Structure 1
Amino acid sequence: MIEVIGAGFGRTGTLSLKLALERLGFAPCHHMTELVDNAEQTDLWARVATGEPLDWDEVYRGYRATTDWPGAHYWRRLIEHFPQAKVILTVRDPQKWYESVRGSIYRVRSLPMPDGLDAKRRNFIDEMIWQREFGGRFEDADHAIAVFNEHNEAVRREVPAERLLEFQVGDGWEPLCGFLGVPVPDEPFPRSNDRQEFADRVAQRMRAH
């Protein structure tokens, strides 16, 4: 049963949030990384992307939280289906967000990929995120940033204030733990998946193929 819904777009600290939520006991937390090398997850989300009617309990079976795409694309459905779940909107400076996405996950879109799982995953991500979310116009920075801002405003507007935390990973443990009603860990807040780390991971996967 999903207890925490991350509604923020990718590259807003969603992997750090995943690690933090898991440290706080909301494990496992779904994230785009869950689809890497996981044919079952890729097949499942490919079916979601085609509009096949699926039970969200089945989609998230075994998970207690979700952050990042692909879940963030369906945030309205998720907050309705899991009415008791708390919602976290990860945010960052819009221009920095755009530069980060363009230099990482959008760049991967243009890299050659072998047939198979990687290609299948990239195809449905392309449809779900770059075509539907950004209307095929992500390279238009003004348009992409407008989509980002409008998404954040919609979450702020539609999620009841008592159910929503707007969060930047630099805020650390205190606001997150206060919102979730759990103790603050005696350790640094996790920070992961900066652009260099992302590039290194992609390069490693390309070498593996």
Structure 2
Amino acid sequence: MKVIVAGLPKTGTKSMSAALKKLGYNVYDFLENLYYLENEWEKIFKNKYDKGLFQKMYDNVDAVADLPACHFWEEIHRDFPDAKIILTVRDSEDVWLKSLMHHIEKLDNHVLARIIQVFEIMQGRMAGLMLTLSYKVILGIDRTVLGKKTTMNELLLKMKYRAHNAHVIQNAQPNNLLVFNCKEGWEPLCKFLEVPIPDDAFPHANIRASLVDTAPHHPLAIKYQHEVLGSLAKGLLKCSILVILILFIANLLFW
């Protein structure tokens, strides 16, 4: 692990992930954590964390960003003390809050995402609940799977943003921390990481929560959806066979 992006969601974490990938880093963002580390995050959220777990999780990973890892930046850094820490921020807490609320609203209105989550719960999968649990544990946002729109307390969310950023700034070693706004571009980032500045423009991803619409088409998301729907189909087939068998036996017994 070389880089830990400690910024909260909607602080440019997707742009940062894209930038780090351009610089040659192997990055685990939300989707990679969801798909490859489902079982490990289940242990963490169920309070079954073992010392050194993050070291095993990210042994072959160069950088990590976004939920839920940003909340555990300090614990990850303990397992990787040489990793650099980047705190991504927005122009102000109001700008961040507006972006977050728009993102949650789009998630609430995304029918496919809600349907997939229901199927995941039916199969006891942890991955589909990671986003819901992350928002609840880290930001205090209680997202329901069915129907109800998410209620957000703007004052408390701003306090969460302030508290998280202050904690990172206070506890990370100053010479090992970059407080970074993606508007600053390549120069401060590359200087901090001690790498050459690319010729390409600095990437800007997930503008106005566009990722909510594009994420289902990501190769990992497609693979995961196929697994969930495939497992559901197998389960329904087994139930159908069981029902037919019961009816057949009942017919033999009573007729």
Give the alignment's TM-score, normalised by structure 1.
Answer: 0.85
- Equivalent residue for 1:185? 198
- Equivalent residue for 1:13? 12
Point out where structure 2 has 5 or more consecutive residues left out of the alignment. Answer: 143-150, 230-255
Superposed counterparts of 1:50-199, under 5 Å? 50-54=46-50, 55-92=53-90, 93-105=92-104, 107-108=106-107, 112-114=114-116, 115-116=119-120, 120-130=126-136, 132-136=137-141, 139-199=152-212
The DSSP-based 3-state class of the residue aligned with 1:103 is helix
Q: Distance in 1 between matches of 2:183 and 2:94?
A: 17
- Equivalent residue for 1:29? 27
Higher helix share: 2
- State the one-letter code of the partner of 1:70: P
Q: Do the aligned partners of 1:109 and 1:122 also contact (CA within 8 Å) in 2?
A: no
Change (3 A) 1:86 1:203: closer
Provide the aligned length of Structure 1 versus Structure 2.
Answer: 204
Tell me by how many angstroms 1:201 deviates. Answer: 2.2
- State the one-letter code of the partner of 1:78: I
- State the one-letter code of the partner of 2:133: E
Q: Do the aligned partners of 2:85 and 2:177 also contact (CA within 8 Å) in 1?
A: yes
Q: Do the aligned partners of 2:103 and 2:208 also contact (CA within 8 Å) in 1?
A: yes
| Aligned counterpart in structure 2 of residue 41 of structure 1, from 37, 45, 61 | 37
Tell me by how many angstroms 1:136 deviates. Answer: 4.5
How big is each residue's C-alpha offset from its partner over 1:15-58, in whole Å with a ceiling of 9 and x where there is no partner?
Answer: 111111121122x111112246x2x4323322222122241121
Greater relative contact order (Cα 8 A, min sep 6): structure 1 or 2? 1
Tell me by how many angstroms 1:113 deviates. Answer: 2.4
Structure 1 segments of 4+ aligned residues over 3 angstroms from their partners: 117-120, 135-138, 202-206
Indicate the larger mover: 79-88 or 98-107: 98-107
Q: Distance in 2 between matches of 1:165 and 1:152?
A: 12
- State the one-letter code of the partner of 1:49: F
Q: Distance in 1 between matches of 2:85 and 2:193?
A: 10
- State the one-letter code of the partner of 1:121: A
The DSSP-based 3-state class of the residue aligned with 2:210 is helix
Q: Distance in 1 between matches of 2:108 and 2:77?
A: 29
Q: Distance in 2 between matches of 1:195 and 1:133?
A: 21
The DSSP-based 3-state class of the residue aligned with 2:86 is strand
Q: Distance in 1 between matches of 2:183 and 2:54?
A: 31
